[in-house]
Structure 1
């Protein structure tokens, strides 16, 4: 197979949760540019429809925008059923929906901690479980969980007081590895992306507080751009990664290497 064919997603269908903005929108755009049909889902229907419509216009792929609270099993099931009915298969799932909460650990409200864990961990589990039912039946599939460099170890409190977020992303990494082991025999590759610091609505507070501190510890000397996740996501979504599973691909400008 020619190397360019390994990255061709023509005819594939990808679900991107939290795809209405930020990193999810960037990933959805990259997969659409590679030829995949795109299903964008998040809590805000309007945002999903806007992104879906834009991707269809720009790339010509089929798209669908749906509202979905990934912590609600009934809404997750509705998305999976709609995608299967409209597209026939679910080839790629990107679990990108996420939440965070900033507060010193001694002051972190338990409700905030639970909310972050529920969205980032339980939501990833529910989407994977329901999409996985389809993938196991198909005998193939790709699941990409969006973790974070914050899940690789402790974060300096001078720029990141988000114990719930960090804990949740560590859980996502272990979940990724375990699911890869469980579903490898069904030809389902499960991997994670661990982005570093990208300017998004979610990261604004951290970057406002500790942006200089972060850049000083980033070998490439910049934050992530609007295209820096596209290639990494495409690799994990395509045939190019058919022999890669249970891995965590870090996209952080080298910050993790300098710690």
Structure 2
């Protein structure tokens, strides 16, 4: 059910701003896992919409190289920083450095993540815990670190990278599916908690994208059947296809969203 009033954008004398809602000019975005894969693609997408971006990685050289390329391509300020998202002090120091450098933090994309595949009886507990530390602990720590700055500004966007496998199951994926299910619920809880402070928390649930993580298994017949075959599009996602969702959730266009999951999965979860 929708309603309009004299104060809403739907009023005849106040036309919808349309495409201008997606303008990110001069906003500052932190993207963890930003040196490669979906993180780098989303960083480039935000820069193309006018944002200045900070790419965070455990490998400083990779983050710097990616940032320099984005700065050249889009004419925005882009820097690369080293930080391990599982280390509380490293995360806090990174966020404080960004705030000192730019004076603001408008957007956080929690894209750092890992995947370890295998039957449960062939995996070690340490492998399971390692996936949780990066995918869950890292998302929580980075979110906690930016929240005080966003609360002070009464504005902000936190975008978590969940997954199709946070919504549906797949065999031999207990570490990853468990972690992404946790990210889904973290997003919902934080969305409710932070909406009153003007901070929108939502998640993107990518399907099978052809990232560095998936290249080693892209030609495996079983993967092609069980993963790519599960999509309606019957193909791997291409990295630029994640950018639209990231720009949308980072922008004013997503101002009435809180704790939502945006599936970019080729139709996997529609079945």
1:219 aligns with 2:215: no
Tell me the TM-score normalized by structure 2: 0.91
Instruction: Please give the alpha-carbon distance, in whole angstroms, between the structure 1 residues aligned to 2:82 and 2:161.
Output: 19
**Residue of structure 2 in register with 1:105 after alignment:** 120
Deviation of the 1:74 alpha carbon: 1.2
Shift of 1:207: 3.1
Pairwise CA distance, 1:256: 1.1
User: What's the counterpart of residue 168 of structure 1?
Assistant: 179
**1:70 matched residue in structure 2:** 85
Select which of 4, 8, 30 maps to 2:23: 8
Map 1:115-154 onto structure 2 (within 5 A): 115-154=130-169
In structure 1, stretches of 5+ residues that fail to align are none
Query: How far has the Cα of 1:92 moved from its partner?
Result: 0.3
Task: Report Cα offsets for 1:211-251 as digits up to 9, x if no partner.
Answer: 23333321112211121100011000000000011000000
Q: Distance in 2 between matches of 1:239 and 1:191?
A: 13
Conserved in 1, the CA contact under 8 Å of 2:208 and 2:228? no
Shift of 1:201: 1.5
Tell me how far 1:115 sits from its aligned partner. 0.4
Q: CA deviation at 1:86?
A: 0.9
Counterpart CA distance in 1 for 2:251 and 2:144 is 21
Provide the rounded CA distance (Å) in 2 between the counterparts of 1:217 and 1:198.
13
Segments of 5+ residues of structure 2 without an aligned counterpart are: 1-15
Alignment partner of 1:19: what SS? coil
- Check if 1:187 corresponds to 2:218: no
Query: How far off is 1:81 after superposition?
Result: 0.8
Alignment match, 2:4? none
The TM-score with structure 1 as length reference comes to: 0.95
TM-align CA RMSD: 1.1
Q: 1:96 to 1:223 in 2, by over 3 A?
A: same
Alpha-carbon separation, structure 1, partners of 2:200 and 2:269 = 24
Q: Aligned partners of 1:222 and 1:199: how far apart in 2?
A: 9
Determine the C-alpha separation between the residues in 1 that align with 2:42 and 2:261. 16
Deviation of residue 149 (structure 1)? 0.4
Aligned length: 254
> Deviation of residue 78 (structure 1)?
1.3
State whether structure 2 residue 53 is matched by structure 1 residue 41. no
